[in-house]
Chains A and B, each alone.
Chain A
Amino acid sequence: MPRVGPKVFQIIKFAYHGCTNRQFFHIVLLDNKSPLNATPYEQLGTFDPLPNIYNEKLVSLDVERIKYHIAQGVALSRPVEKLLGLAGLLPVHPMSYITAKRNRKKLQAEAAAQSEDKNSDHDEQS
């Protein structure tokens, strides 16, 4: 019987290039089995998830090459799918909708709590 090895395919994913408490990611094309610090086939962008002084999360993407690789059928990791959805290259990821919904709910709950607090204060004063 021939032994079937692990399925190896190429994937676009984040590679951690920061240090402790300071994330910084390269968006790279790698084999799914290779470690994240491996030399990538190609670097396709960067992502800095920590907001800077202008409250911006900086992303750079090599759109042409990413399009090319997507057309070639390489896989995309979930964070990359989310990022590309927000960038407008792919449809928005379902999880982004869910996160947004959760955030909305949280905001609504906070607002409701604040209004309740105000009402209770008003009642006490009256």
Chain B
Amino acid sequence: MASCLRLLVETSLKQQALLVSACTSRTPLVQSVRFRKPPWVPVAKSKEFYVRKPTPVDQEEYEELKARYRFYRSEVDSVRQFLAQDLSARQHNLEDQDLRADEAEVSLMMQHLQEWNTHVAAVRNERQLQEQLDHEQMLKERLANQEKQRMLDAERALAELEEKEAAAASFIDPDKLDEAIEKLIDSRKDYNFAITKSGEKLFGEYPDRKTPESHKQS
């Protein structure tokens, strides 16, 4: 049977590449698990009817092992339980310690906060008082400035008024209009002069003597 299989394999080894390509394709392949040898290689001739001999067990050792294992398992269980209890107790303690530490920290923080708040309040009150004083001072100064400005404005206005009033003396009233027009018409102006660079007026050789007023005016 085995030799037949070997023959088959020898012939089929040539088609190995083909088979491999079939394996790598998506066709479903059912094969037994066999790591070192390919699945189609038969059992070695020397191992054809090989049956593994069971490992010899020393009966005395076996009994001892069994007895010891019973104790061992229970001891390991108890160690496990002890460690678990120890762990939970330690965690409990740690939690308590944490809680206490937290409370102490919080109280310390609150104390610090209180101190800071009082200090900040004192500084703030002082600052606000100073600000209020400054503001009042500023208002006073502003009022004084306004008052000063008002006085100046009034003075200026008064001076302007006086100036205007002085100027108004030479104004022509409507009832004196005709008279003024007559006067202007009668008046004459002599422009027959030259002006030097320095602005001096040089009247001609024969100035108009008929209107002496005009000379006076110029």
Q: List residues of chain A with CB under 8 Å of any chain B CB.
A: 67-68, 70-73, 81, 90-91, 93-95, 97-98, 101
Contact = CB atoms under 8 A, between A and B. Distances in A.
B28 to A, nearest CB: 22
Contacts of A71: 80, 83-84, 86-87
Interface of B: 61, 64-65, 68-69, 71-72, 75-76, 79-80, 83-84, 86-87
Nearest to A68: B87
17 contacts: A67-B83, A70-B79, A70-B80, A71-B80, A71-B84, A71-B86, A73-B84, A90-B75, A90-B76, A90-B79, A91-B71, A91-B79, A94-B65, A94-B69, A98-B61, A101-B61, A101-B64
A91 B83 contact: no
Contacts of B75: 90-91
A65 to B, nearest CB: 12
Contacts of A97: 64, 68
A71 B91 CA distance: 13
A91 B74 CA distance: 10
A93 B73 CA distance: 9
Contacts of A94: 64-65, 68-69, 72
Q: Which 5 A-B pairs have the closest CB atoms?
A: A94-B68, A71-B83, A71-B84, A91-B75, A71-B87
Most B C-beta atoms less than 10 A away, residue of A68, A90, A94: A94
Nearest to B64: A98
A88 to B, nearest CB: 11
Given A72-B84, A91-B76, A101-B61, 14 more contacts: A67-B83, A70-B79, A70-B83, A71-B83, A71-B87, A73-B80, A81-B76, A91-B75, A91-B79, A94-B64, A95-B65, A97-B64, A97-B68, A98-B64
Contacts of A98: 61, 64-65
Contacts of A93: 72
Contacts of B64: 94, 97-98, 101
A54 B61 CA distance: 33
Most A C-beta atoms less than 10 A away, residue of B69, B75, B84: B84
